[in-house]
Amino acid sequence: MTNSEIVDLLELTGRLMELHDRDAFKTRSFQTAAFNLDKSTADLANLPVEELVKLPGIGKSVAQKIREIAETGRLTDLDELLAQTPEGVLDMFRIKGLGVKKVRTLWHELGIDNLRDLQQAGENGEIAKIKGFGASTQEKILAALEFLQEQQGKVRMDKAALIANLLRDELTKHFDRVEISGQVRRKAQEVDTVQLLIQTSDPVSAMLTLSQLPNLTQNELDSSPFVWRGKLNGFDVLVELLLYPAEQIDRQLFIQTAGEPHLQQVGVGGVTLLQVAYASPDVTEPAIYERAGLPYIVPEMREDDFAFRWASRHQNDELVTWDDLRGTLHNHSTWSDGKQSIAAMAAYCRELGLTYFGIADHSKTATYAHGLSVEQIQVQQAEVDQLNQSFGTDFRIFKGIESDILGDGSLDYDDATLATFDYVVASVHQTLTMSLEKATTRLLRAIENPYTTILGHPTGRLLLAREGYPIDHRAIIDACAEHNVVIEINASPYRLDIDWRWIDYAIQQGVMLSINPDAHDLAGLLDMHYGVAIGRKGGLTKAMTFNTLTLEEMNEYLQQRRAQIGK
C-alpha cells in the first residue's frame, strides 16, 4: 500500500463516519490523521504501531488501523460504513461544493441517494427549498452534474499513459509487436479511448489469447473479429485493441494516431493525407507526409490543420524537449504544503541535470496550505541563502513565492515583501466562481502588478474534476505581452493550464511560457514531462520556453526585471 492509498482510506473513513453521525472524537481522529499524513514522507506501510504514534496527529487507535490497512489492504470500519452507504451517495461527494453535511441533508431530507435523483430534484427546484441551500447552490449542483456527465469515461493523460504501458507490457509477452496509438500517442490531455495496435497474422487465435488475459473484460457487442473493445479492470475508460498483419502496422499506426481533421488535410493534387496513407507504397510516417507534399508533423500535433499553419513558420527541431529544460520555478516544500524540504527538492533537481530550482511556496492567504507569513518568509530566505552557499557556480535556488491573487486582483503581500523575492508566481486559489468579466479583470490587475513575474495556472481548472473559470484569453495574453509577464503551463496532469490551444497565440504575441511542475514532492518534478508534451502539442518552441534559459541567463533576466520595477 502506498502512502496516498492509506491516506485515501483514512480520509474516506472519516468522511463516512461524519456522514453517519458517528462519535465526533473518533471521526476527528481519522480526519486529522488523513490531513497530517498527506504530507508525510515516512513509509507508512512499513512502520510499526510504536513508530506510527510518533507522527503528528496519530494516536494508538488510528495507528492500529493503519497497520490493518497495510497488512490487509482493507479497513473493517470502512467496510462496515460502505455497506450502510448507497453507492449513489458516495457519487454525490464528487460534486464540487457538496460537503458531508449537505450530502447528509439531501440523503435524509429528500431521500436522494443517486446522481439521477439529485439532478431531477435540482431541475424541479426542490434543492433550493432546503434550508441552507438556496437557488445559487442548486444552480452550482446542476452545473457540476453536467460537467461530470461530460467527463464520464475519460481519464487524464497520466493515467491513460499508465494504462497503455501496462497493456503494452502484458501484450508484448504474447505478440511480436504492440504499438500505443490514438489519443495516448498524440498526448491528449483527456483520453476516452486507450488504443493499441497488435501485430498478428491470425486474428482468431489473437482474440482467444486476449480473452484469456487477466484483468481484461471484453464488451463483446462492441467488438468485432479484428477489434477487441472492453476495459482494463479498475479503470473506467474504453480500451481498444486493433489487430493488423505485419504489413499494415506502420500504415495504421499513422492513421490511428492522427485526428480526423488532420487526416483530411489536402496535399498535392487535391488528395487528402488519409488517401495518401492508404495508397503510399512506403508506409513510414515521414514518407507519407512527403508523398502528400506536406511537412512532417510530430505525433503530438496531429489533431487538426493547426499543425500545418505552425509548420509554415517553424521547424520541428524548434519544438521544446525535456533535454532543453534548465530549471524549474513553481515548486512547494514542507514550508507550506509540500512533502519534501527545499534541500531535498534542490538535490533531486541536480540529479535530474537541472541547474536551478525555484521555491514558490504558498502565500499567507492560503491558510489551508500553510501559507507563509512575512516572518516565515524571512526565515525561509535565510535558509535558501545558506543552501546556496553550499553550491558551486553551476546550481542555484531562486527565491520565489506563489502569491494569491485576491478578489480585487491585488497580490496578498505588500510591495516591500514582494521586493524580497527573485520572482513571483501570481495565482488564483479562492473564490473561483466568477463571470468572464470578473475573472478577466481580476487577472489583468494582477498582471499589471510590477512584481508579477509568472501568471500561474490561468483558469484554475482541474481536469475531469473542475471546469476552469472563464477568461478572455486574448486579453490576458495581450496584457502579459505588454507587461512582460510569463505565462505558466502548469505541468501537473491534473491541470495542464494554460490550455495548449492558446500556446501559439502567446508565442505570436511574444509571451514566453514556463513549464512549471507545481511540484509538492520529488516525483512531482517529473510532471514537467507532461508539460513538455502539452507544450509540443501547442507548438511551443525552445526559444519561447522560459525555463530553457541557462542559469546565467535566468539570473540576469530576474535581476534586470527587478531593477526595472519602479522606474
The continuous run of DSSP H or E covering 424 comes out as: strand 423-427
Q: Does 148 or 505 have the greater pLDDT score?
A: 505
Helix H segments across 181-265?
A: 182-185, 203-211, 246-257, 260-263
pLDDT over 80 (residue 566): no
Mean pLDDT of 152-175: 95
CB 378 within 8 A of CB 413: no
Q: pLDDT tens for residues 38-65?
A: 878 888 999 999 999 999 889 999 999 9
Region of 21 (left: φ > 0; alpha: ψ -120 to 50; beta: rest) is: left
The continuous run of DSSP H or E covering 193 comes out as: strand 193-199
- Please choose, from the candidates 36, 79, 73, 28, the residue with its C-alpha nearest in 3D space to the C-alpha of residue 54: 36
Count the neighbouring beta carbons within 10 Å of the beta carbon of residue 8.
15
Mean pLDDT of 462-475: 94
Helix H segments across 84-133?
A: 87-92, 100-110, 115-123
Mean pLDDT across the chain = 94
Q: Please state the φ and ψ torsions of residue 65, each to the nearest 5 degrees.
A: -65, -40
pLDDT over 90 (residue 486): yes
The CATH classification of domain 153-238, taken from the options 2.60.40, 3.30.70, 1.10.3470, 3.30.460: 3.30.460
Region of 512 (left: φ > 0; alpha: ψ -120 to 50; beta: rest) is: beta
Distance from C-alpha of 96 to C-alpha of 462, rounded to nearest angstrom = 11
The CATH classification of domain 3-135, taken from the options 1.10.150.110, 1.10.10.10, 1.10.3720.10, 3.40.50.300: 1.10.150.110
Mean pLDDT of 285-304: 97
Domain 322-330+338-564 bears CATH identifier 3.40.50.150:
no
Distance from C-alpha of 544 to C-alpha of 325, rounded to nearest angstrom = 12
pLDDT given at position 223 = 95
Burial 525-551 (b: 16+ CB within 10 A, else e): bebbbbbbbbbbbbbbbeebbbbbbeb
Q: Please spell the DSSP secondary structure of 473-541, one letter per residue.
A: HHHHHHHHHHHT-EEEEE--TTT-BS-GGGHHHHHHTT--EEEE--BSSHHHHTTHHHHHHHHHHTT-B
Burial of 234 from C-beta contacts in 10 A (0-12 / 13-18 / 19+) = exposed
Strand ranges for 70-189 from DSSP E: 155-156, 178-181
Distance from C-alpha of 328 to C-alpha of 546, rounded to nearest angstrom = 10
Distance from C-alpha of 72 to C-alpha of 78, rounded to nearest angstrom = 13
Query: Which residues does residue 545 pair with via DSSP β-bridges, in sequence order?
Result: 513
- Please choose, from the candidates 68, 2, 66, 80, the residue with its C-alpha nearest in 3D space to the C-alpha of residue 29: 66
Distance from C-alpha of 182 to C-alpha of 245, rounded to nearest angstrom = 18
CA distances from 202 to 208, 245, 246 (A): 10, 8, 11
Count the neighbouring beta carbons within 10 Å of the beta carbon of residue 11.
17
pLDDT given at position 416 = 96
Q: pLDDT tens for residues 346-359?
A: 999 999 999 999 99
Q: pLDDT tens for residues 379-437?
A: 999 999 999 999 989 999 999 999 999 999 999 999 999 999 999 999 999 998 899 99
pLDDT given at position 30 = 94
Per-domain residue ranges for the chain? 3-135, 153-238, 322-330+338-564
pLDDT over 80 (residue 567): no
Angle value at C-alpha 269, between 263 and 274, nearest 5 degrees:
20
pLDDT given at position 94 = 85
Q: Does 328 or 153 have the greater pLDDT score?
A: 328
The continuous run of DSSP H or E covering 244 comes out as: strand 238-244
Q: pLDDT tens for residues 58-111?
A: 999 999 999 999 999 889 999 999 999 998 999 898 887 788 999 999 999 889
- Please choose, from the candidates 483, 486, 461, the residue with its C-alpha nearest in 3D space to the C-alpha of residue 471: 461
- pTM for the model stands at 0.87
pLDDT given at position 521 = 94
pLDDT given at position 4 = 86
Q: Please state the φ and ψ torsions of residue 185, each to the nearest 5 degrees.
A: -70, -35
Banded pLDDT at 371 (limits 50, 70, 90)? very high
CA within 13 Å, CB half, 34: 18
Q: Please state the φ and ψ torsions of residue 357, each to the nearest 5 degrees.
A: -130, 125
pLDDT given at position 549 = 98
